[in-house]
Amino acid sequence: MDCEEVNGKVKIWPLWRSWDGLRKIWSFIGEADRWIVRDGQSIKFWYDRWLRGSRVVDLIVNDIQVPRRLSAMVSDFFEDGLWCLPLFASPQMAVIRDNVYVQQLPSIVFLDKRVWSLMESRRCTVWSGWEGLKVKNDIQPWYRLVWMKGLLPRFSIFGWRFAHDSLPTNDKVARQQFFDSQWYGFPSIEELFSWWERKARVISLRKIWLALVILIPFHIWSERNSRRFENLHRHHSLVVKAVLRDLVDFSTLVDVNVKTVTELLISRRLQVKIAPIVPRRIIEVIWQCPLLDCFKLNIDGCSLGNPGCAGAGGIIRD
């Protein structure tokens, strides 16, 4: 049982609360694991997922009564490397019997193998478990702007709350009350983010432009709160300087590449850090003839994935 101290007293939580969570996890693991039949001695014929990723008991319709606590193992139904299931009068059991006979048995006896169906490697990992358990919603079009590399966590969290219309202010910023004036811009924040991202395709310094969609509202929101709750009024030029200061910090965490003279002038005006250009290294490769009375074999190959299709070739000459 779990204990917790509340108001100087020890409060005991019932043990079933912990077991309830464990049962959910265990149920998830049971649905994700699979068995590969080899010797059949470790696989329960009725209750383990070995027949095309399903349990035999789940393939039976409710109108057929299946006894509880069946203890038969898969090894009880094959002998000398061949399946030996009895004949069934039920058409459903006959179909299951045919599916069992389609499954091939190994010619050499090995131990049964339990694998994880959520990974191609068949190995259970924490990441695959989290991916299977978490609630998956549709990817929002603005997620790349909010969780952009280089943005500090406080900016990303602000952007996430800004997109969900959940900023902790009296008036919702999305409706909009920046500096106590009505908003006449985009009808929704999603459309603002969408327009901002489309604009980045034709504008200089794309990464800098994308970061501004979070930094500008953040400092406007901060100034609005300072004016309303702390009675502190700054000149708009100080707000702009604060945005540029955070923009410089952002440029130190990402690679800002400059390709044109216009981008160079803009980056200098904003005082952002430019990523150094790595010069290309040219390696000259020369083929030389083999020595007299010798042969040279040159080979090359590649693979499309691992595992995947692969090919190789070679040529011999004197």
Q: What is the pLDDT of residues 186-218, one digit of tens each?
A: 677 888 888 898 898 888 888 999 999 999 999
Q: Report yes or no on 293 lying in a domain.
A: no
Same domain, 192 and 261: yes
User: What pLDDT, on a 0 to 100 scale, did the predictor assign at position 134?
Assistant: 77
Same domain, 67 and 42: yes
Same domain, 39 and 126: yes
Q: Report yes or no on 87 lying in a domain.
A: yes
- The answer on pLDDT for 156 being more than 60 is yes
User: What pLDDT, on a 0 to 100 scale, did the predictor assign at position 18?
Assistant: 64
Query: Domain end: 106, 133, 160, which one?
Result: 133
* Rounded distance between C-alpha atoms, residue 317 and residue 72, angstroms: 65
- CB atoms under 10 Å from CB of 248, counted, come to 12
- The answer on pLDDT for 258 being more than 50 is yes
Token digits for 167? 């900023």
Q: Report yes or no on 296 lying in a domain.
A: no
User: What pLDDT, on a 0 to 100 scale, did the predictor assign at position 237?
Assistant: 92
Same domain, 173 and 115: no
Token digits for 301? 């190959």
* Rounded distance between C-alpha atoms, residue 219 and residue 232, angstroms: 14
Same domain, 116 and 203: no
Query: Domain end: 270, 294, 313, which one?
Result: 270
CA count, 13 A, side-chain hemisphere, 260: 7
Does 290 or 135 have the greater pLDDT score? 290
* Rounded distance between C-alpha atoms, residue 156 and residue 148, angstroms: 8
> Are the beta carbons of 254 and 209 closer than 8 angstroms?
no
Q: Count up the domains in the chain and report the number.
A: 2
Same domain, 259 and 173: yes
Same domain, 87 and 210: no
User: What pLDDT, on a 0 to 100 scale, did the predictor assign at position 167?
Assistant: 75
Same domain, 69 and 127: yes
Task: Give the tens place of pLDDT for each residue, 216-236.
Answer: 999 998 998 898 888 888 999
> Are the beta carbons of 73 and 44 closer than 8 angstroms?
yes
- The answer on pLDDT for 102 being more than 90 is no
Distance of CA 209 to the CA centre of its chain: 26
Q: Report yes or no on 12 lying in a domain.
A: yes
Nearest Cα to 114, choosing from 35, 191, 50, 216?
A: 35
> C-alpha distances in angstroms, 129 versus 34, 42, 119, 235, 285?
15, 24, 10, 51, 48
* Rounded distance between C-alpha atoms, residue 221 and residue 239, angstroms: 10
- The answer on pLDDT for 307 being more than 80 is no
User: What pLDDT, on a 0 to 100 scale, did the predictor assign at position 2?
Assistant: 47
- CB atoms under 10 Å from CB of 215, counted, come to 23
Query: Domain end: 228, 254, 270, which one?
Result: 270
Same domain, 147 and 129: no
Same domain, 65 and 27: yes
Instruction: Tell me the residue range of the domain where 123 lies.
Output: 2-133
Same domain, 168 and 128: no
State the chain's mean pLDDT as an integer: 80
Task: Give the tens place of pLDDT for each residue, 10-45.
Answer: 555 555 556 666 777 777 777 888 888 888 888 888
Q: Report yes or no on 179 lying in a domain.
A: yes
User: What pLDDT, on a 0 to 100 scale, did the predictor assign at position 184?
Assistant: 56
Same domain, 102 and 188: no
In the chain, the percentage of residues whose pLDDT exceeds 70 is 85
- The answer on pLDDT for 182 being more than 90 is no
Q: End-to-end CA distance of the chain, in Å?
A: 81
* Rounded distance between C-alpha atoms, residue 246 and residue 212, angstroms: 10
Global confidence as pTM = 0.51
* Residue 168 confidence class, pLDDT cut points 50, 70, 90: low
Q: Report yes or no on 261 lying in a domain.
A: yes
> C-alpha distances in angstroms, 198 versus 192, 203, 258?
10, 9, 20
Q: Report yes or no on 55 lying in a domain.
A: yes
Q: Report yes or no on 294 lying in a domain.
A: no
User: What pLDDT, on a 0 to 100 scale, did the predictor assign at position 240?
Assistant: 92
> Are the beta carbons of 81 and 110 closer than 8 angstroms?
no
